Structure 1
Amino acid sequence: MNFNLENWNFDTQSFNWLLALVCIFIGLFLSFKAWKRADKKRLVGFWEIFRIFILFLFCFTLFDPQRIEIVRSEIKPQILFLVDESMSMETIDINSTGQNLNSRIEFARSIIKHSLVKELEANATVIKQFFSSSKGKTRTNLHDPIQNSLSELKNLRALVMITDGDENFGPPAAQLANRLRNSSVPAFTIFTGSNQALPDLELERSWAPSFTLKEEKLIVGWRIKNSFPDTKESVLILSANDKVVKSIPIKIKGSERKSGNLSWLPPMEGNYRMELKIKNIKGESFSQNNHKKFKLRVDRKILKVLIIESYPRWEYRFLKNALQRDPGVEVKSLLFHPEMPNAKGENYLPAFPSEKKDLIKFDVVFLGDVGLSKQEMNRDHCTHLNDLITNHAGGLVFLPGRRGRQLSLTESPLGKLLPVVYDQGNPQGLGTINPAQFELTDRGMKHWLTQLRGTGEPNRDFWNKLPGFHWAAMVEKSKPGAEVLATHSNFSSKWGKMPILVIRHHGAGKVLFLGSDAAWRWRKGVEDKYHYRFWSQIVRWMAHGRYQAQQSGIRLLSDPEIPNEGDEVFLRCIVMDQAGFPLEDGQIEATAMHPNGVTEKLDFTLDPESTGIFLSSIFAESPGPLSIQVNELSENRKIRTQLSVI
């Protein structure tokens, strides 16, 4: 019980009264006895009165006296609500109504809209802020929002944070505990989300290019999460224009994720409405997260291929024949006969293109058993080939031969493009009496370049059944950044199994190394079925980037082609004049529209190392369609493209 007297407040509990009365009674009794023993002297009496006064003051403090002073301020206290809006807050696992499931962010928004929060606004300034991280919504930073609030809000009196606690970026928020305590700002946390994931199968992510070439397989990547405690089976279905075109069974262990790729060859060019979905199973909490939709454009392009070789070996003859029979490929050949004049005739080039502008017309170049010499290639040729791959998104295939001429290219500008390190001590390669096989690596089993088998036939078993090879180029190891798809089945170096099929991205283009010259033997018994399919897939895979976005003589390339939220996307704009040569003098303007509707102006700068190439970059701020438009002002041309941010 409290007693108020004007501006004073006292704690008048019964215990306080009892203790005070007992203390005063005992004090009076002892003081009277002491005064009486001193013959009731006046000085002793004054001293005992002083002692009783001190005792009275002590008893007075038992009632906790407080003087209350009301200070009216024109500035209202500030109460801050910090709401986590990172991607994890979109998880749907809250059943607050007992019927429908809500996401964590919806639950957080319902809290800040509550009637009790509105009542606080009568006497305080209520501030509501949403946060995630400086790298986008894929990460959560709890530290910086609290630190910024303490620095910027001068009259902060309370802080309420609504989050699922999934902190994975920035310094730990616990470092600010002492600062909150010293600032006398109480911090309250409201955690959202369920302690355990609700039973469900979820198609978390899917990624696919927005464009493919005719006769190029569409590769759709996927990742599925199983939130059930036990193993579940379902079917993954790919549909095009509402028609099922591919389906595969899937089996995922409890509380685990599984990812993979699904391939499909579009039958014709045109625009497709694509959908990837999981077949619903019994017991799922919700089914709206079982499908993803995207758009696909299939274009028919005539790909220009140049084959450079010395002697017309079997690999060269059957490769040229396979590509000439491909209706989507236009083949030119350059055959250096070292002891004879260069080959002449239909579809033959009399010499290596002397000008860079003549070479960049080709999408893919096959480089056979040739090297640096007066009769073959020089350093200028290598420099132009390097520029084609690095800056103009071309493709280069290394096909070494028994003469070992490619070893001389390691010291040329093409040495940077080689995805392997040649064994300089064995230029003529390795020959065997018994045939060796291509032994696929784990990466090779999944890559679509090696998908030559029929339906239902395991990829690894298929490659073991292909006719083998008796010769291979001697390689020490693959270079950093290269992907080894297959190794020699019988030979190993000190670095491990010898690479025989290797791919690598270099600049804007792609490079492939095939260390055997016996792919033509795959025709045995089946004619061109596998041999044709292999080289057809390689040519289209390597040329894909050049036609990602092409219009009116302008090519716009992005790296990566399918960016994640928060990624920096590097843009390369290749501008040609009306004659098809790189534009020497041009001016580029570009704008980008983000999925949230924000428009951004892009600054393209001329590449100092190559003519007609302009470079820029942009950050993929949020998931969804990112639209980019580039205008070339000198000839009034423009190109539009759309990237899918995941």
Structure 2
Amino acid sequence: MTRWIMRALGLDVGEVDRIADWSVRWETAQWGIFAAVLMGGLSFLSWELYRRSPRELPGGRRFLLATLRMIFLGLVIAIFLQPVVVLTLEKEVPRTLPILVDRSGSMSLRESDGVSRLQKAQGAFASPGGQEMLRSLKEDMRVPTFTFHGSSLREWEELELPLVAAGEKTAVGEAVRKVLERYRGAPLAGVLVVSDGGQNSGVSLGAVARQLKESGVALYTVGVGDPKMRDVAVEEVEVREVLLADDAVPVTVKFRTQGMMGDSGRIVFSLSGVDVAEEEVRIEADGLQQVTTLFVPKQEGEYVMEARFEVDNGVEALAENNTGRAGLRVVDRRLKVLLLDQAPRWEFKYLEAMLLRERRVDLSCFLFEGDREVARIPGSPYLEQFPARAEDLFDFDLILLGDIDPRLLTEDRLSLLGDYVATAGGALTVIAGKRFMPSAFARTELEQLLPVEFAGASVSSAKSLSARPLRLSLTPAGRESVMLRLGDEPQASEALWSNLPPIYWAAGVQRAKPAAEVLLTRPDQNSASGAAPVLALHRYGAGEVLFVGTDNFWRFRRNVGDRYHTILWGQIIQRMAGARLLTEAPRVTLRSNGRRFEQGDRVQVYARLFTASWDPREDERVEAVLAAGDDPDRREDVILRAIPSQPGMYRAELSAGPPGNYRLAVAGDKIATLDFTVADTNREYARASLNEGLLRDLSRDTGGAYLPLARLKELPAAITDRRASLTSLRELELWSSPLFFGLIILILAAEWIVRKISELK
């Protein structure tokens, strides 16, 4: 009956399974009252006409004829009201289950049986059990098959075996995202990914997982490979970007092991091919580990620090991921440091003594309340007056600013300090003090320079902090910072920090500014986080500002002498002054969006250029030369163009070329250079084992299921929602449909027949 009605309404029975709901809408409903009155009048007239028909006409037949006439009139009047029937139609369709097979380079890895992962995946699908599994899925669903590697996604009518692994990147998230785009709006039973989980490029899996959850699509994953393959992978080499010749430098190597517990090996450190250090390693447990060693660079130049892990027994799944690299520069010059304070407090005295011992530091001091005669002693580090000219102040690599009365740091001097940081790219370290710094500098230019907010902080409460001991705590950023590393290993460094003597005073500051990095904190009951910053760092214009919120670091000397005090301040000095070591031309500041790139990456170069009098250059374009370090003949002209509304600022964008070391040179008062490396980094083999945890978590988070390849035949049982009910709305103009006019003709015919039977004209 339903199908007959659907046909009568002009619906394609093959496209609709059932009518779930219906309703009627009148297009000219505004005439409804008039139509009702008209219908009432005509109905009364019809009844009166049949009531006056011959008496021998039976009453029941008289009523039937009147009713048929009223229905006919009602249908005719309905034509003018234009009734539209709104149908809710349902159709059951098979869902789609796209299968994505990973054929990136890591799928070519052979395991203990000598068979590659991709071969195992193909074998599993081609086996009788795999074919039965596919037939089961295709009975109720559409099952398109894709392969992916890097940014490539290819659909196959039928997989052409054998597949060959290709590409140096695995982008699982990118492949899933593309499939979701392709089937947008189509009912999906889920997405099936067959992979080793070696995600290393493209859109993040977290973002794709959120997209899947929002779309209500489950991700089913089949893991290929051994999750416990023996492997060690070097993940990162940490070393300062600029080093001083003949100074011992720490190098940290982070590496991850799998299935290697109890094994041993060594990490060999080499500088541009020459071995410089070696550390024996005993692997006590699998996971992320790190080793730190010291080496002494000897000669100036550009180098690549390489860390190579050598396994003693030589047995592991993959040797390609055993090496990590980092670029560095060795310079041979002294750091020019200016130490400013009002009076020689304890921190000043110990800091001055430490800096005078440092052979790599060229120290200048100025005390506003100091004896000017001291400056006249031959060899004295003291200045007779505050450097008042830009060319004098800007010549320093680092300025250490102490507890000074704002009346002595006049507006002109503060402005000069601001230009030193923002314009000349200098480094400023501000050491707090009980008398003035920073509380007395509210609403001055120095307040803008600092990485902390202190407006409204109580000076009296800050002074009261000296009445009780304060333990300092490293933040996560502080634990990672080489500047605060007191021991060879992070764990040892943290232990040393926790055992350091307490301080007895810290500046009362509210919080760090939004872009600042907090490295060290103290307890603070008035703070929402329960801690206030003591050491905070941020960029300001072309330079950097470090806030040291205490003058009590000298207390770290208790029982151990100057050991930790010297280590801490020495690393702070070298970290803050290091930016100036990158260039021999102080009036040309070059920076980029990174120091290490992969081929094809966009390299954005920014230059800040000044004249000899420290005025911004006004040229519309500046020429530079890009040279490849390993091939002097490979040179390329680069044009840096002025950035509108930013005097002295220039910008250029390059495309990272073939792997190698590159140097961009810009001419100023001296030649300034910017070095970067295009790495031959193949992250595809950074991890040898199956990343089972990643695949399992993705499936769980999206409502899917994870299966190892050996249990592939269980997949059909995991996918239960195979058909979807598609709902659609269809509006039919009932008043103009054949069904409606057929009904009118039927009513007229019925009345005519009854009248004939009743022998009425």
TM-score, length basis structure 2? 0.55
Deviation, 1:574, is 5.1
Once residues 534 and 669 of structure 2 are traced to their aligned partners in structure 1, the CA distance between those partners, rounded to angstroms, is: 47
Once residues 526 and 213 of structure 1 are traced to their aligned partners in structure 2, the CA distance between those partners, rounded to angstroms, is: 27
User: Given residue 411 of structure 1, which amino acid in structure 2 is its aligned partner?
Assistant: R
Once residues 620 and 288 of structure 1 are traced to their aligned partners in structure 2, the CA distance between those partners, rounded to angstroms, is: 23
Q: Which residue of 2 aligns with 1:200?
A: 231
**Equivalent of 2:341 in 309, 313, 317:** 309
Secondary structure at the residue paired with 1:616?
strand
**Equivalent of 1:474 in 497, 508, 523:** 508
**8 Å CA contact 1:215, 1:265 repeated in 2:** no
TM-score, length basis structure 1? 0.64
**8 Å CA contact 2:247, 2:297 repeated in 1:** no
**8 Å CA contact 1:217, 1:264 repeated in 2:** yes
Secondary structure at the residue paired with 1:212?
strand
Once residues 323 and 603 of structure 1 are traced to their aligned partners in structure 2, the CA distance between those partners, rounded to angstroms, is: 42
Whether 1:327 aligns to 2:356 is no
**8 Å CA contact 2:643, 2:651 repeated in 1:** yes
Once residues 371 and 488 of structure 1 are traced to their aligned partners in structure 2, the CA distance between those partners, rounded to angstroms, is: 25
User: Given residue 627 of structure 1, which amino acid in structure 2 is its aligned partner?
Assistant: Y
**Equivalent of 1:643 in 677, 690, 694:** 677
Secondary structure at the residue paired with 2:104?
helix
Once residues 510 and 358 of structure 1 are traced to their aligned partners in structure 2, the CA distance between those partners, rounded to angstroms, is: 19
User: Given residue 196 of structure 1, which amino acid in structure 2 is its aligned partner?
Assistant: G
Once residues 564 and 528 of structure 1 are traced to their aligned partners in structure 2, the CA distance between those partners, rounded to angstroms, is: 44
Q: Which residue of 2 aligns with 1:533?
A: 567
**8 Å CA contact 1:392, 1:508 repeated in 2:** yes
Cα distance, 1:487–1:163 mapped onto 2, change above 3 Å: same
**Equivalent of 1:605 in 623, 634, 641:** 641
Give the share of equivalent positions with the same residue, in percent.
22
Cα distance, 1:507–1:347 mapped onto 2, change above 3 Å: same
Cα deviations by residue, 1:551-581 (Å, 9 ceiling, x for unpaired): 697553334334567765443445576x795
Cα distance, 1:376–1:261 mapped onto 2, change above 3 Å: farther
User: Given residue 639 of structure 2, which amino acid in structure 1 is its aligned partner?
Assistant: D
Q: Which residue of 2 aligns with 1:376?
A: 409
Q: Please show how residues 218-297 of structure 1 align to structure 2 within 5 Å.
A: 218=249, 220=251, 222-228=253-259, 231=261, 234-235=264-265, 237-240=267-270, 242-243=274-275, 245=277, 247=279, 249=281, 251=283, 258=288, 262=292, 264-266=294-296, 268-270=298-300, 274-280=305-311, 282=313, 283-293=315-325, 296-297=328-329
Cα distance, 1:580–1:290 mapped onto 2, change above 3 Å: farther
Deviation, 1:305, is 1.2
**8 Å CA contact 2:297, 2:330 repeated in 1:** no
Cα deviations by residue, 1:120-151 (Å, 9 ceiling, x for unpaired): xxxxxxxxxxx99xxxxxx94447x99xxxxx
Cα deviations by residue, 1:1-50 (Å, 9 ceiling, x for unpaired): xxxxxxxxxxxxxxxxxxxxxxxxxxxxxxxxxxxxxxxxxxxxxxxxxx
User: Given residue 449 of structure 2, which amino acid in structure 1 is its aligned partner?
Assistant: L
Cα distance, 1:626–1:92 mapped onto 2, change above 3 Å: farther
Once residues 168 and 397 of structure 1 are traced to their aligned partners in structure 2, the CA distance between those partners, rounded to angstroms, is: 44
Once residues 118 and 582 of structure 2 are traced to their aligned partners in structure 1, the CA distance between those partners, rounded to angstroms, is: 37
**Equivalent of 2:594 in 560, 566, 569:** 560
Whether 1:627 aligns to 2:662 is yes
Once residues 456 and 446 of structure 1 are traced to their aligned partners in structure 2, the CA distance between those partners, rounded to angstroms, is: 8
Cα distance, 1:617–1:505 mapped onto 2, change above 3 Å: farther
Consecutive unaligned residues of structure 2, counting only runs of 5 or more, are 1-99, 123-146, 187-192, 199-222, 682-761
Deviation, 1:308, is 2.1
**8 Å CA contact 2:536, 2:547 repeated in 1:** yes
Q: Please show how residues 434-583 of structure 1 align to structure 2 within 5 Å.
A: 434-453=468-487, 458-488=492-522, 493-550=527-584, 555-563=589-597, 568-573=602-607
Once residues 465 and 538 of structure 1 are traced to their aligned partners in structure 2, the CA distance between those partners, rounded to angstroms, is: 20
Deviation, 1:361, is 0.8
Once residues 172 and 550 of structure 1 are traced to their aligned partners in structure 2, the CA distance between those partners, rounded to angstroms, is: 48
Deviation, 1:214, is 4.0
Cα distance, 1:441–1:405 mapped onto 2, change above 3 Å: closer
**8 Å CA contact 1:269, 1:297 repeated in 2:** no
Secondary structure at the residue paired with 2:422?
helix
**8 Å CA contact 1:484, 1:503 repeated in 2:** yes
**Equivalent of 1:93 in 105, 108, 126:** 108
Once residues 89 and 323 of structure 1 are traced to their aligned partners in structure 2, the CA distance between those partners, rounded to angstroms, is: 54
**Equivalent of 1:174 in 179, 190, 193:** 179
Q: Which residue of 1 aligns with 2:422?
A: 390
Cα distance, 1:289–1:405 mapped onto 2, change above 3 Å: closer
Q: Please show how residues 323-362 of structure 1 align to structure 2 within 5 Å.
A: 323-337=355-369, 345=376, 346-362=380-396
**8 Å CA contact 1:163, 1:191 repeated in 2:** no
Cα distance, 1:394–1:209 mapped onto 2, change above 3 Å: same
Once residues 440 and 602 of structure 2 are traced to their aligned partners in structure 1, the CA distance between those partners, rounded to angstroms, is: 37
Deviation, 1:281, is 5.7
Larger RCO (CA within 8 A; separation ≥ 6): 2
Secondary structure at the residue paired with 1:431?
helix
Cα distance, 1:567–1:262 mapped onto 2, change above 3 Å: farther
Once residues 329 and 596 of structure 1 are traced to their aligned partners in structure 2, the CA distance between those partners, rounded to angstroms, is: 33
Cα distance, 1:343–1:504 mapped onto 2, change above 3 Å: farther
Cα distance, 1:643–1:300 mapped onto 2, change above 3 Å: same
Deviation, 1:601, is 4.9
Cα deviations by residue, 1:282-315 (Å, 9 ceiling, x for unpaired): 5412323212355644212211112222232111
Q: How many residues of Structure 1 are paired with residues of Structure 2 in the alignment?
A: 505
Instruction: Compare CA radii of gyration and give the structure with the larger one.
Output: 2
Q: Please show how residues 76-87 of structure 1 align to structure 2 within 5 Å.
A: none
Cα deviations by residue, 1:392-443 (Å, 9 ceiling, x for unpaired): 3321111111113423434333334322222634225243444333222333
Cα distance, 1:216–1:408 mapped onto 2, change above 3 Å: farther
User: Given residue 376 of structure 1, which amino acid in structure 2 is its aligned partner?
Assistant: L
**8 Å CA contact 1:391, 1:613 repeated in 2:** no
**8 Å CA contact 2:277, 2:295 repeated in 1:** no
Which has the higher mean CA deviation after the structures are superposed, 546-555 or 500-509? 546-555
Q: Which residue of 1 aligns with 2:96?
A: none
**8 Å CA contact 1:206, 1:220 repeated in 2:** yes
Once residues 358 and 174 of structure 2 are traced to their aligned partners in structure 1, the CA distance between those partners, rounded to angstroms, is: 51
**8 Å CA contact 1:219, 1:261 repeated in 2:** no
Deviation, 1:599, is 7.2
Once residues 588 and 364 of structure 1 are traced to their aligned partners in structure 2, the CA distance between those partners, rounded to angstroms, is: 28
User: Given residue 225 of structure 2, which amino acid in structure 1 is its aligned partner?
Assistant: Q
Q: Which residue of 2 aligns with 1:212?
A: 243
Deviation, 1:516, is 1.4
Cα distance, 1:357–1:93 mapped onto 2, change above 3 Å: same
Once residues 518 and 502 of structure 2 are traced to their aligned partners in structure 1, the CA distance between those partners, rounded to angstroms, is: 19
**8 Å CA contact 2:270, 2:307 repeated in 1:** no
**8 Å CA contact 1:232, 1:251 repeated in 2:** yes
Which has the higher mean CA deviation after the structures are superposed, 259-268 or 280-289? 259-268
**8 Å CA contact 2:630, 2:660 repeated in 1:** no
Once residues 598 and 305 of structure 2 are traced to their aligned partners in structure 1, the CA distance between those partners, rounded to angstroms, is: 20
